[in-house]
Amino acid sequence: MLAHTLLPFKGQNPVVLALPRGGVPVGYEIARFLDATLDVFIVRKIGIPHHRELAMGALASGGIQVLDGDLIRRLRVPPHEVDEMIAAEMRELTRREERYGAGHAPPLLHGRIVILVDEGLATGFTMRAAVQAARKQQPARIVVAAPVGSSEAVRMLQAEADEVLCLRTPEPFVAVGLWYAAFEQTTDDEVRELLGRARDVERLAG
């Protein structure tokens, strides 16, 4: 269903950038439907200490950092704990860049339609960091695509991206996983396999 909403971009040489790990299976199907380039865009949520599912910000490749200062102040998270969480997520971001890249040059985004994909938009901070990082490369258009999201996240991202396509914004939202029949953790190996398949198809087509 999500791929069908993106059909107008088929034939316009779009690049689908999936947010690992959960966004990769979704992005793979979209890229296959659109005959588009697929790659990953590494973004890491910065969780609240002792409650890491609650995002106080996000990091993205290219040195982009987004923090929710209001939430940090409201929960009284000490600066040293914020710094520790940022450092830990930066290490994981670097590890994933090395693991998923595997010698593969990332696609050029300048002047292209970029479709940023995730499995869901809860707070929207992770995707917001992705949009800001992608914008640095001056794409022609940035489209955010997700099957489900909170209305708050969608509104925030509409101010950042050129277009936001989200199939469902249920109320109350609660969590992304509640809106999937199956929500198993995507593994590094699954990400590498899907990227490998997509790159093989692109090489054969080229």
Please answer whether residues 195 and 202 qualify as being in contact, where contact means their C-beta atoms are separated by less than 8 angstroms: no
CA dihedral 31, 33, 34, 38 (to 10 degrees): 10
Phi–psi pair at 117, nearest 5 degrees: -125, 135
Please answer whether residues 115 and 16 qualify as being in contact, where contact means their C-beta atoms are separated by less than 8 angstroms: yes
Please answer whether residues 115 and 14 qualify as being in contact, where contact means their C-beta atoms are separated by less than 8 angstroms: yes
Joined tokens for residue 177: 């996983």
Cα 94 to Cα 91: distance, rounded to the nearest angstrom: 5
Cα 200 to Cα 79: distance, rounded to the nearest angstrom: 45
As a whole number of Å, the end-to-end CA separation of the chain is 28
Instruction: For residue 194, give every residue at least 6 positions away whose Cβ sits within 8 Å of its Cβ, in sequence order, or none.
Output: 24, 25, 28, 38
Domains and CATH numbers, the chain: 2-205 (3.40.50.2020)
- pLDDT tens sequence for the chain (206 residues): 999 999 999 999 999 999 999 999 999 999 999 999 999 988 888 988 888 777 888 888 777 888 889 989 999 999 999 999 999 999 988 888 888 875 567 788 999 999 999 999 998 988 998 998 899 889 999 999 999 999 999 999 999 999 999 999 999 998 999 999 989 999 989 999 999 898 888 777 66
Question: Quick one: which of 12, 91, 28 has its CA closest to 59?
Answer: 91
pTM of the prediction?
0.86
Sheet holding 113-117, edge to edge: 37-40, 15-18, 113-117, 141-148, 163-168
- DSSP assignment of 50-79: TEEEEEEEEEETTTEEEE-HHHHHHTT--H
What 8-state DSSP symbol labels residue 177?
Answer: G
pLDDT of residue 141: 98
**Burial label, 31 (beta-carbon count in 10 A; 0-12, 13-18, 19+):** buried
